[in-house]
Amino acid sequence: MNQFADTLKKHFLIPVVAIESLDNVVPLTQAFCDAGIKFLEITYRNENAGEALRILQKNNFDIIIGAGTIRTLAQAEEAIECGAKFLVSPGYNKEIIQFAAKKNIPFVPGVDSTLGIELAISEGFNLLKFFPAEISGGIKWLKSIKSPYPEIKFIPTGGITLENLSFYVKLANVVGVGGSFLAPKNLILDKKWDKIVLICKEAIKIVELDRERL
């Protein structure tokens, strides 16, 4: 497993956030830091992603910032230029794979089938995003895929909640999870930073307790 995966396995949680207002970037990230979150994924689901990354690049947060929903080479180029330390894609894009390799930046392509896994293996990947996790089989899919692909590790994203988080923590082939459940959109819009801190702390507690039981 590479260094990125090793670090993620230690901290496990990746808030996945679409920035609707740039005014929220700093206080939201501060809330994550206050809670003890060590990763953050800013998604390219609107036009604010690049500028949000630029804002974070100018601040000295103790958190690893990445860019998600990367679907084009232009987005990948902008994200790295704006300070992203890792890239995540919802699918499998060979052009972005090659670009990330040249830039020596961690890239996690998304898969939802054995076909995607085989393509990823052919490119030398052993860490993949499983998306959309819950509607694509969730825990059952990950358990069933472990035997034929024991070397592959996953970051399930999509449908993860505080209620089902513990089930993912217990899976040996899962090194982390991503999701908006750590900072629900309504809480961001209402600037409820204290509530986001509480949610993140609860998630961290779940991760720590379930690991103790393993």
Cα 109 to Cα 130: distance, rounded to the nearest angstrom? 9
Q: Report the SS3 class of residue 5.
A: helix
Selected catalytic residue, list 9, 10, 20, 41: 41
Selected catalytic residue, list 78, 129, 134, 153: 129
**Which one, of 16, 11, 1, lies nearest residue 208 by Cα?**
11
Place of tokens 């509480």: 198
Task: Compute CA 59 distance to the chain's CA centroid, rounded to the nearest angstrom.
Answer: 21
CA dihedral 59, 64, 69, 70 (to 10 degrees): 80
Catalytic residue check, 129? yes
Q: Exposed e or buried b for every residue in 143-154, given b needs 16+ CB within 10 A?
A: eebeeebeebbb
Catalytic residue check, 41? yes
Catalytic residues: 41, 129
